[in-house]
Amino acid sequence: MELTGWGRFPRFETRLYEPSSPEAAARLQPLLSGFAPRGNGRAYGDAAIGVTASILSRGLGRFRHFDPAERRLTVESGVLLSEIIDAFLPRGFFPPVVPGTQFVSVGGMIASDIHGKNHHGAGGFGDHVDAFELALPGGEIRICSPGQNADLFKATIGGMGLTGTILSASFKLIPVESALIAQETIVAQNLDEAIAALSAHEDWPYSAAWIDCLASGAALGRSLIYLGRHAKAADIAAIDPHRRPAGKKRPLGVPIDLPGFTLNRLSVAAFNELYFRKGASAAGKPFLNGIGSFFFPLDGVLNWNRIYGRRGFLQHQCVIGTDAAAGAIAEILGRFAKRGNASFLAVLKKLGPAGRGYLSFPKPGFTLALDLAMDRGVFEFLDEIDDIVVAAGGRIYLAKDARQSRATFEAGYPELDRFREIRREIGAERAVASRLSDRLGI
């Protein structure tokens, strides 16, 4: 059947397998050649599409064990983050790291070594994984941890599924006192202010800047900085009960593809202006926010990826080392502002220490992510952006990528050779192949 990633570009035919247990997934692998694991399909590009076959992890959807003393949770890899939050937030526990959507699988979070708004302090999801079970391409099951099969552990964290299917994993949850986030919003009038503010507020566990991409000139990089921490019981007691955020709302949906022309420069500009105004008017006043609207604002609109129409869209996400960040990101934003591309918003975030994996995306510096509609010249335009990234010693996030060149990729991931070596050692070279690994020659 035809599969795509979240950006709905590119599209490829692949055979889809849906094993119903970890053992069944491991038994299936040696029968396939050119397969890739697939979690919940939230990677934007071609990472979760197997060249000939894709192994869906949905049937590996069982929780296994929770040790309250250690706060260690063990689950099968197809369990969704949303299920973990539903089960454990009411009991006072929260995942150590969450991305911008809760509809991702545990396997996908490990394979992309995902980062959240707390990366500057907490590191990536991979930094919290104690151990996982990995099915090698031939079906043998290996337990991997920092002390056992350590090389496979480092290759699989951030390894984009290219070492075989992760069957289950153990990681520690963090204790929280409430299901709310104490939030503060700061206005930054330009990029330098935004970068300075993110660095000045590292004591907040969660932070990220939403940049208005259409602001230019002196206002280039104009943004709202969202700071958050888990609210304590005392924070909640202090607030007027009528002003507490409401509980679960039913998400609105985008049921059908909107025509591609809905998003033009004007409508996006109007949206960004409104978003900025709305945020700015609340700036400076601390308030309590729900977990959902703080971490997963877009999950409120189901299938929002369809607003770009059937052609799909691209996301560009790079990380630039701390020293080069201000200059390179200013240049990138300048190009975007000039082009007037249909990006809703850009997100800027400070990253902490490098991830554990050979292909982990995070490294100390600043990461910038933008969405782009599929218009004429977009690929050439992004190639130019990539040149800026490479010149600044940066890299592009594989979980978002659908189009970077091999040269850009190779320049960004210096431990690639070690990764390839491990793939050879475990017989994954030809056996495990996604459209991404095929395109980038991994």
Ligand X SMILES: Cc1cc2nc3c(=O)[nH]c(=O)nc-3n(C[C@H](O)[C@H](O)[C@H](O)COP(=O)(O)OP(=O)(O)OC[C@H]3O[C@@H](n4cnc5c(N)ncnc54)[C@H](O)[C@@H]3O)c2cc1C
Closest CA to 263 of 215, 312, 296, 221: 312
Interaction between residue 166 and ligand X (CB under 6 A):
yes
Nearest to ligand X of 129, 160 (CB atom) = 160
Interaction between residue 27 and other proteins (CB under 8 A):
no
The item of ligand X, other proteins, none sharing an interface with residue 47, based on CB under 5 to 8 Å by kind, is: ligand X
Tokens encoding 370: 């933008």
Interaction between residue 62 and other proteins (CB under 8 A):
yes
Nearest to other proteins of 67, 273 (CB atom) = 67
Cβ partners under 8 Å of residue 238, min gap 6: none
Interaction between residue 195 and ligand X (CB under 6 A):
no
Nearest to ligand X of 182, 398 (CB atom) = 398
d(CA 251, CA 104): 17
Q: Choose, by CB under 8 A, the member of 28, 43, 51, 75 that binds other proteins.
A: 75
Binding part of the chain for other proteins, among 70-78, 128-136, 325-333, 340-348 by CB under 8 A, reads 70-78
Interaction between residue 21 and other proteins (CB under 8 A):
yes
The item of ligand X, other proteins, none sharing an interface with residue 36, based on CB under 5 to 8 Å by kind, is: ligand X
Shortest Å, Cβ 435 to other proteins:
27
Interaction between residue 99 and ligand X (CB under 6 A):
yes
Shortest Å, Cβ 226 to ligand X:
13
Q: Give the contact letters, 25-44, x = binds to ligand X (CB under 6 A), - = no.
A: -----------xxxxxxxx-
Shortest Å, Cβ 56 to ligand X:
8
Shortest Å, Cβ 87 to other proteins:
4
The item of other proteins, ligand X, none sharing an interface with residue 115, based on CB under 5 to 8 Å by kind, is: ligand X
Interaction between residue 298 and ligand X (CB under 6 A):
yes
Nearest to ligand X of 165, 190 (CB atom) = 165
Interaction between residue 73 and other proteins (CB under 8 A):
yes
Interaction between residue 114 and ligand X (CB under 6 A):
yes
Shortest Å, Cβ 117 to ligand X:
7
Q: How many of the chain's residues bind ligand X (CB under 6 A)?
A: 33
The item of ligand X, other proteins, none sharing an interface with residue 64, based on CB under 5 to 8 Å by kind, is: other proteins
Interaction between residue 363 and ligand X (CB under 6 A):
no
Q: Give the contact letters, 3-22, x = binds to ligand X (CB under 6 A), - = no.
A: ---x----------------
Tokens encoding 22: 């970890």
Closest CA to 367 of 100, 91, 132: 100
Secondary structure, 3-state, the chain = CEECCCCCCCCEECEEECCCCHHHHHHHHHHCCCEEEECCCCCCCCCCCECCEEEECCCCCCEEEEECCCCEEEEECCCEHHHHHHHHHHHCEECCCCCCCCCCEHHHHHHCCCCCCCHHHHCCHHHHEEEEEEECCCCCEEEEECCECHHHHHHHCCCCCECEEEEEEEEECEECCCCEEEEEEEEECCHHHHHHHHHHCCCCCEEEEEECCCCCHHHCCCEEEEEEEECCHHHHHCCCHHHCCCCCCCCEECCCCCCHHHCCHHHHHHHHHHHHHHHHHCCCCCEEEEHHHHHCHHHHEECHHHHHCCCCEEEEEEEEEHHHHHHHHHHHHHHHHHHCCCCCCEEEEEECCCCCCCCCCCCCEEEEEEEEECCCCHHHHHHHHHHHHHHCCCEECCCCCCCCCHHHHHHHCCCHHHHHHHHHHCCCCCCECEHHHHHHCC
Binding part of the chain for ligand X, among 87-95, 104-112, 185-193, 318-326 by CB under 6 A, reads 104-112
Binding site for other proteins (CB under 8 A): 20-21, 62-66, 73-75, 83, 87, 91
Binding site for ligand X (CB under 6 A): 6, 36-43, 47-48, 57, 77, 99-101, 104-105, 107-109, 111-112, 114-116, 160-161, 165-166, 298, 399, 434
